Amino acid sequence: MRRPWIVGVSGASGTPYAAAVLRALLDADHPVDLVVSRAARLTIIDETGVPFRDAHWHTDLESWLGRSVDADRVRFWPAGDFAAGPSSGSYPAAGMIVVPASTAACAGIALGLSKDLLQRAAEVNLKERRRVVVVPRETPVSRSHLLHLVSLVDSGAVVLPASPGFYSGGAQATAQQLVDFVAGKILDACEIDHDLFTRWSGTGLKRP
Ligand SMILES: Cc1cc2nc3c(=O)[nH]c(=O)nc-3n(C[C@H](O)[C@H](O)[C@H](O)COP(=O)(O)O)c2cc1C
Q: Is 123 exposed, middle or buried (0-12, 13-18, 19+ CB in 10 A)?
A: buried
Per the domain annotation, does 105 fall within a domain? yes
Q: Is residue 83 part of a domain?
A: yes
34 domain-assigned: yes
**Residue 194 within any structural domain of the chain:** no
Ligand 1 contact, 13 CB (< 6 A): yes
**If pLDDT is split at 50, 70 and 90, which confidence band does 120 have?**
very high
pLDDT at 204: 79
Decide whether any atom of ligand 1 lies within 6 Å of the 35 Cβ.
no
Question: Is pLDDT above 90 for 162?
Answer: yes
User: Can you tell me the distance from the alpha carbon of 10 to that of 13, in angstroms, rounded to the nearest whole number?
Assistant: 9
Confidence of residue 171 (pLDDT cuts 50, 70, 90): confident
Instruction: Give the pLDDT band (50/70/90) at residue 191.
Output: very high
* Nearest CA among 170, 179, 132 for reference residue 153: 132
13 CA distance to ligand 1 middle (Å): 7
With a 6 Å cutoff on the Cβ, whether 15 touches ligand 1 is: no
pLDDT at residue 32 in the model: 98
Residues 6+ away with beta carbon under 8 Å from 163? 182
pTM (2 d.p.):
0.97
Structurally, the chain folds into a number of domains equal to 1
Please answer whether residues 5 and 34 qualify as being in contact, where contact means their C-beta atoms are separated by less than 8 angstroms: no
